[in-house]
Structure 1
Amino acid sequence: MARAESIPRDKDNNYSEEQARRRRTFITEKTGAELPSLASYSIDPQVTQGNIENFIGCVQMPLGLAGPIHITGEHARGDFYIPMATTEGTLLASYSRGMRAISESGGVKTTVVKHSMQRAPVFLFADAMQAREFGAWLVSRFDAIKAAAETTTRSGKLFEIEQYPVANMLYTRFCYTTGDAAGQNMTSKATFAACEWIKANHPDQPRYILSGAIDTDKKHSAMNMIQTRGKRVIAEFTLKREVARDLLRIDTAQLYRYRQIAAVGALQAGSAYSGAHAANGIAALFIATGQDAANVAESHGGITYGQLLENGDYYWSVTLPALICATHGGGTGLPSQRECLQILGCVGTGKADKLAEIIAAVVLAGDVSLTSAVLAGDWVSSHDALGRNR
């Protein structure tokens, strides 16, 4: 069998309009697909270097605005209009309704309570005792290991090495703060430098694998629900009883009863998220702002909590323990994505926590609206009116 023809490339200037057009022509000849929409874009192909290979064009994703939502966070403060990219009809209308309910109840308070991005090497030994002694050595040499790791980065800071001994191995998680970057690549490079220092300086020169898989990169895990990956963010507000009645057409006592029922259902299903849905809002914001969309797998896990107050109001919170987002690096510098970050006021140094608080607030708004729609019987009718059901 003849070998299939390779995708056209230019080793000297592969990110040019000429090369993009050459590859579009190539795939049209191979498949018969015409590509006028993919070929219609406003960015310079050169700016995609480092974000994609074999560039041929851009997929145009519908982008809309939801909001406003009033946020009183540590970093995000004020009224925000939220750019969300999606192909799901009713999504922005639903989120906007949740945002209105939150705003009319006084707004949402947001807090980033922990930062921790990991790479998780595993060290291999002859027996369990040797692994245990190595763990004690890691503790005693932490400052030197930290210094070795941080030679590779200006913003990454190693603050802890978690240890999980199993059999004749020591699984570890090297935990960092990463500034405005998401930090997966940063922590990989830093941890590799640290492990090489360990191997050179420990008497046994231990063998290691850079990831023992308990960093759970782009996978949901119970470990991250407890220990944090990326940012642990909490969004909370008190839904006023009259707002619930007049805007959402539900009663807060009914809402609290449903929270109990839904918690049992989520437990039976083994759900990663105990509320209505976190992934919708996170995905729409991630796509709009240039985040790594695969990080939705980790970021959507979380816990919702409700408390019926004596006056009939309802305290409602969302905790996202593994929210991975950035305002620097990755796709955040691409023109369209940067414009969406500008809408949110999240361009510049020190804005990653602000973005995280906004995302958590948006997730809470989505829960408010969808949960209420399920209880009020609006779930199907809203999709009939605005979505693809029509």
Structure 2
Amino acid sequence: MSAPQDSNGQPPTGQPPTGQTADDRIPRDRDDDYGAEAVAARQRFVRERTGSTLEHVASYSLDPATLPGNVENFFGVAQVPIGLAGPLLVNGEHAQGDFYVPLATTEGTLVASYNRGMKLMREAGGITTTVLDDRMQRAPVFLFESARGVKEFSGWLDAHLDEIAAAAEATTRSGRLIEIQKFSAARMLYTRFNYTTGDAAGQNMTGKATFAACAWIKQNYPGELHFYLEGQFATDKKSSTVNMLHTRGKRVVAEITLPAALVEEHMGVSTDKLWKARLVGNLGGFMAGVNNNGLHSANGITALFIATGQDVANVAESSAAYGFSELLPNGDYYAAVTIPALIVATYGGGTGLATQRECLELLGCYGAGKVLKLAEIVAATVLAGELSLGSAVVVEEWVQAHDELGRNRP
């Protein structure tokens, strides 16, 4: 039986050409895997086996030599359009003034919605932002013969915190072990080694540091113990109550008081109706079993993360938000959002890549000493989007806006 063909007599996309006998392994170059020849070999490999032309994927301005540590088997790029929202007026401890925010997305209406919220809040005098906490974890679990072993080891940890910290901090220039939290169950002690990590997000840093700390503990503890470096109590890249209560990354608050007349003018809704809708939505979320009451914080955070080179999977934790609002006696509207597990970086990871660095520089947030500034900008952006969407739902503009701005179909 002959192999299937398309209308042009070629193998369908996704199937190898008829009679192909070449090695199906993705081409690699042990000596220069990010060089032009290695990249071109992978592009040929994809074209031959899938029929794709890679007309756009293979076109890019970045230097592949900058990519080790960011991606393997590099063969091209995924271009995500970036829209600009702002100015966003922030009255923060670290971020102060007007910012134009780059949002990378393929969802129509997203940039327009955040832009609308930013306009309202700028006319109200800007958003106040505050970073309340800063810590990153690795969470080893220690196992013993019985709960008595847990009790003895827990006291020993407290007595030797300085030595444990020294072992951990020997692996890093910027990481500092600030405490070890302990949570016991049966004959196991679950711990959270809490660090400050400078301008890096810190997951890899804390993993390496905690491994060194646990090795020191294993060598010096007088009793027998076993451990796993991660007992899943850090809930890495998963939203959890423990991280929302105890912080993972940055804990940052954005808040504003909006004059009632200004809300009516820009959003077409009265503050009492906005507040009532908030109460109704909170009950709905409670009934559904959510662990936070943000409206769509993942939208703005994801768009900012893609634009600025953050680890996008951290949206799972970072987008969980506590929203709070209050209708004041004079009719004005107080609104706040607390993001208790915001994981961002201005150094390391993808932040130094070409387009991502440009977006961070656009915000004045690239490099050392800028991570708390970026955290405040993210939180302020989230609040702008929460107010814009909340208003759109109440005045029934939500569906209409998506219909007008969010339809891009052949």
TM range (shorter): over 0.9
The alpha-carbon deviation at position 349 of structure 1 amounts to 1.5
Residue equivalent to 2:268: 249
**Residue 348 of structure 1: CA displacement?**
2.7
Residues 389 and 38 of structure 1: is their aligned pair in 2 closer, same or farther, counting only changes over 3 Å? closer
Q: Residues of 2 paired with 1:158 and 1:38: CA distance?
A: 42
Q: 1:228 aligns to what?
A: 247
1: CA distance, partners of 2:292 / 2:362: 28
Are the aligned partners of 1:320 and 1:360 in contact in 2 as well (CA < 8 Å)?
A: yes
Q: Percent identity?
A: 57
Task: Pick one of 193, 214, 228 that aligns with 1:195.
Answer: 214
Q: CA deviation at 1:271?
A: 2.2
Matched with 2:329 is 310
Match of 1:34 in 2: 53
3-state SS of 2:320 partner: coil
Offset at residue 64 of structure 1 (A): 1.0
CA displacement at 1:273 relative to structure 2:
3.1
Do 1:383 and 1:389's aligned partners in 2 also have CA atoms closer than 8 Å? no
- The equivalent residue for 2:29 is 10
Which position in structure 2 is the counterpart of 1:60? Answer: 79
Q: Which amino acid aligns with 2:173?
A: R
Match of 1:139 among 144, 158, 176: 158
Which residue does 1:96 correspond to in 2? 115
Distance of 1:205 and 1:152 partners within structure 2: 25
Matched AA of 1:196: A
For 1:135 and 1:3, the matched residues in 2 are separated by 59
1:4 offset after TM fit, Å? 6.5
2:229 is aligned with what amino acid? L
Alpha-carbon distance, 1:28 to partner: 1.4
Match of 1:219 in 2: 238
Q: Which amino acid aligns with 2:103?
A: M
Matched ranges for 1:60-209 at <5 A: 60-209=79-228
Partner deviation per Cα, 1:230-279 (whole Å, 9 max, x = no partner): 01000000111111101100001111111111110111122243021110
* Residue pair 1:234, 1:320 contacting (<8 A) in 2 also: yes
CA distance in 2, matches of 1:297, 1:242: 36
- Separation in 2 of the partners of 1:81 and 1:149? 39
| Structure with larger Rg | 2
The code of the aligned residue for 1:313 comes to: D
After superposition, the C-alpha distances for 1:3-35 in whole angstroms (9 at most, x for unaligned) are 962110000000112211110110111111221
Find the aligned partners of 1:17 and 1:319 in 2 and give their Cα distance.
46
Within the alignment, does 1:367 sit opposite 2:386 as a pair? yes
CA shift at 1:141, angstroms?
0.5
| TM norm structure 2 | 0.93
Q: Deviations over 1:53-74 (max 9, x none)?
A: 0000111100110011110000
Equivalent pair of 1:198/1:205 in contact (CA under 8 Å): no
1:238 aligns with: 257
User: Alpha-carbon deviation of 1:159?
Assistant: 0.5
Q: Which amino acid aligns with 1:128?
A: A
Q: Cα deviations across residues 153-195 of structure 1 (Å, max 9, x unaligned)?
A: 1110101101011111111010000010000000000000000
CA distance, structure 1, for counterparts of residue 111 and residue 175 of structure 2 = 36
What SS does the aligned partner of 1:341 have? Answer: helix
What letter matches 1:281 in structure 2? G
What's the C-alpha RMSD, in Å, of the aligned pairs?
Answer: 1.2
CA–CA distance in 2 between the matches of 1:228 and 1:280? 21
Show the counterpart of 1:268. Answer: 287
Q: Distance in 2 between matches of 1:132 and 1:24?
A: 58
Is the Cα contact below 8 Å between 2:294 and 2:320 reproduced in 1?
no
TM-score by length of 1: 0.98
Give structure 1 regions of 4+ aligned residues with deviation exceeding 4 angstroms: none
Contact 1:156–1:187 (8 Å) recurs in 2: yes
AA aligned to 2:109 is T
Give the 3-state SS of the residue equivalent to 1:29 in structure 2.
helix
Q: Counterpart of 1:157 in structure 2: which amino acid?
A: R
SS of equivalent to 1:152:
coil
SS at match of 2:170: helix
Q: 2:349 aligns with which of 330, 336, 339?
A: 330
Structure 1 contact 272–300 (Cα < 8 Å) conserved: no
| One-letter amino acid of the counterpart of residue 105, structure 1 | A
Partner SS state of residue 322, structure 1: strand
The one-character-per-residue Cα deviations of 1:64-98 (angstroms, maximum 9, x if unpaired) are 10011110000000011000000000110000000
